[in-house]
């Protein structure tokens, strides 16, 4: 069978030594916790309004994990759903990558906890941290294991319990974030191009724009660090916004150029769900039509590494993505980091 897009796209991976071994997403799944926190709820917690949050961000509500529900729990549920969707037993998984900035513990890796919970006895497991770009970084790392024939089946999971690092007294940040998880199964699928290209980047000189100062080797937890509220996420919103628009646009355009594609060739664009105004600005710069862009941040807010993969799962379930479609994934986050990928579904 000839791939549906044969002859239309330039496959950047064809230049690699791995020619012939492509990597496809063969299953996707997601999980969001049941508890809903609305803008009206937040109005009672900090000096804010539904109107401010809606017009400045597009967010109406977000999900919060229960007190006894952790990143590994959400990652496990998303992984089970992705494996079921792919029709793959957990015993077949060779590698688990959990992309997160809110692991259950600094170590061991949350991926190891997921490995035990789903019963993926054969799988190696590690965490990857690239903040909101984490899932796309993980996708690229995972596909390298498949195309190099090191692994046959890789689980890439984006999972976050951001509510555990949010300062619920800081209106600048507490209205923006939510909890959740998404997962994909990566495998070689004959007669499919799969993941065509990934463009990744970082700018560590702007690390201070979005960070959690405490809890690492620079500032271990002490009574003073807790009192100074250093174990919460901090963000320079305007600086982050500006960089997000520029970096996401550039990465997306570079990915299109590498594949010899135009934006009209994309059936669906799935951007990181941080702010509706960022998404609209990136879409406008790319020349994308509004109906090409998938948005669900009104219901979940920013779930960092989980955001793109939760949206991908919902877009597939809603019938917005069909076999042979070309899909763009694009993200930006702390680091600063950014990434864009194009996938033939
Ligand atoms: O996932 C990683 C990437 N993260 C992002 O991409 C987030 C990027 N940044 C943003 O989305 C936006 O910058 C925010 C939504 C965080 C803020 O929107 P903004 O339009 O950049 O607002 P601002 O920071 O310039 O603040 C405008 C005003 C300020 O008041 P003053 O100083 O002008 O009097 C803020 O104090 O809005 C005030 N403000 C609020 N007012 C009501 C900030 N947060 C709130 C709030 N409710 N929750």
Determine if ligand 1 sits within 6 Å of the CB of residue 3: no
Residues tagged active-site = 132, 272, 302
- Quick one: residue 240, left, alpha or beta (phi over 0 = left, psi -120 to 50 = alpha)? alpha
Work out the average pLDDT over 248-262. 97
Q: How confident is the model at residue 2 (pLDDT cuts 50, 70, 90)?
A: very low
- Which candidate, 146, 159, 163, places its Cα nearest to that of 98? 159
Burial of residue 149, with CB atoms counted within 10 A of its CB: 0-12 exposed, 13-18 middle, 19 or more buried:
exposed
Work out the average pLDDT over 259-279. 97
The confidence score (pLDDT) of residue 200 equals 98
What Å distances lie between residue 102 and 130, 179, 180, 253, 299, CA to CA?
A: 11, 10, 11, 30, 21
Ligand 1 centroid from CA 237, angstroms = 6
Residue nearest to atom 35 of ligand 1 (CA): 172
Determine if ligand 1 sits within 6 Å of the CB of residue 240: yes
CB 282 within 8 A of CB 295: no
Task: Output the DSSP codes for 271-300.
Answer: E--S-HHHHHHHHHHHT--GGGB---HHHH
Determine if ligand 1 sits within 6 Å of the CB of residue 280: no
Determine if ligand 1 sits within 6 Å of the CB of residue 241: yes
Q: For a ligand 1 pocket test, name from 39, 48, 101, 172 the mutation site with the most ligand atoms within 8 angstroms of its C-beta.
A: 172
Q: For a ligand 1 pocket test, name from 203, 241, 297 the mutation site with the most ligand atoms within 8 angstroms of its C-beta.
A: 241
Dihedral sign (CA 249, 252, 253, 254): positive
- Which candidate, 319, 313, 285, places its Cα nearest to that of 300? 313
- Which candidate, 180, 184, 181, 108, places its Cα nearest to that of 141? 184
Task: Output the DSSP codes for 26-67.
Answer: EEEEEE--SEEEEHHHHHTTSS--HHHHHHHH---EEEE--T
Q: Quick check: 293 pLDDT over 60?
A: yes
- Quick one: residue 221, left, alpha or beta (phi over 0 = left, psi -120 to 50 = alpha)? beta
Per-residue exposure over 315-330, b if at least 16 CB sit within 10 Å of its own CB, e if not: bbeeebbeeebbbbbb
Q: Quick check: 10 pLDDT over 80?
A: no
Q: What is the pLDDT of residues 194-211, one digit of tens each?
A: 999 999 999 999 999 999
Q: For a ligand 1 pocket test, name from 169, 237, 304, 306 the mutation site with the most ligand atoms within 8 angstroms of its C-beta.
A: 237
Q: What is the pLDDT of residues 17-75, one digit of tens each?
A: 445 799 999 999 999 999 999 999 999 999 999 999 999 999 999 999 999 999 999 99
- Rg for the chain, CA atoms, rounded: 19
The confidence score (pLDDT) of residue 15 equals 47
The confidence score (pLDDT) of residue 7 equals 58
Work out the average pLDDT over 309-320. 98
What Å distances lie between residue 113 and 107, 223, 262, CA to CA?
A: 10, 29, 42
Which atom of ligand 1 is found nearest the CA of 173?
16
Ligand 1 centroid from CA 176, angstroms = 9
- Quick one: residue 229, left, alpha or beta (phi over 0 = left, psi -120 to 50 = alpha)? left
Work out the average pLDDT over 4-21. 60
Percent above pLDDT 70 for the chain: 95
Q: What is the pLDDT of residues 95-125, one digit of tens each?
A: 999 999 999 999 999 999 999 999 999 999 9
Which range (5-19, 56-70, 81-95, 283-297) has the least confidence? 5-19
Q: What is the pLDDT of residues 135-185, one digit of tens each?
A: 999 999 999 999 999 999 999 999 999 999 999 999 999 999 999 999 999
Ligand 1 centroid from CA 299, angstroms = 19
């Amino acid at each position: 069978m000839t791939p549906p897009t044969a002859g239309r796209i330039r496959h950047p991976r064809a230049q690699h030594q791995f020619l012939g071994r492509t990597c496809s997403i063969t299953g996707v799944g997601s999980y969001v916790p049941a508890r809903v926190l609305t803008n009206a709820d937040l109005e009672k917690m900090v000096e804010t309004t539904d109107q401010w949050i809606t017009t400045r961000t597009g967010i109406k509500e977000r999900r919060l994990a229960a007190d006894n529900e952790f990143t590994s729990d959400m990652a496990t549920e998303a992984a089970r759903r992705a494996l079921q969707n792919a029709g793959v037993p957990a015993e077949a998984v060779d590698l688990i990558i959990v992309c997160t900035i809110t692991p259950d513990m600094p170590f061991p890796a949350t991926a190891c906890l997921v490995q035990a919970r789903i019963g993926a006895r054969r799988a190696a497991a590690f965490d990857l941290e690239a903040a909101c770009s984490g899932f796309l970084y993980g996708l690229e790392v995972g596909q390298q294991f498949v195309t190099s024939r090191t692994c046959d089946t890789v689980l890439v999971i984006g999972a976050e319990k951001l509510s555990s690092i949010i300062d619920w007294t800081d209106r600048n940040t507490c209205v923006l974030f939510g909890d959740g998880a998404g997962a994909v199964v990566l495998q070689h699928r004959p007669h499919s191009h799969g993941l065509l290209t990934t463009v990744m980047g970082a700018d560590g000189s702007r690390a201070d724009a979005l960070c959690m100062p405490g809890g690492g080797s620079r500032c271990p937890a002490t009574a003073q660090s807790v009192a100074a509220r250093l174990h919460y996420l901090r963000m320079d919103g305007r600086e982050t916004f500006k960089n997000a628009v520029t970096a996401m646009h550039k990465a997306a355009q570079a990915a299109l150029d590498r594949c010899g594609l135009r934006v009209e060739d994309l059936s669906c664009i799935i951007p990181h769900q941080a702010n509706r105004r960022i998404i609209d600005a990136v879409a406008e710069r790319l020349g994308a039509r509004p109906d090409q862009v998938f948005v669900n941040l009104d219901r979940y807010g920013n779930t960092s590494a989980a955001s793109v993969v939760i949206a991908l799962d919902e877009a597939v379930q809603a019938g917005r993505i069909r076999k042979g479609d070309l899909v763009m994934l694009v993200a930006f986050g702390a680091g600063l980091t950014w990434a864009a990928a194009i996938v033939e579904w």
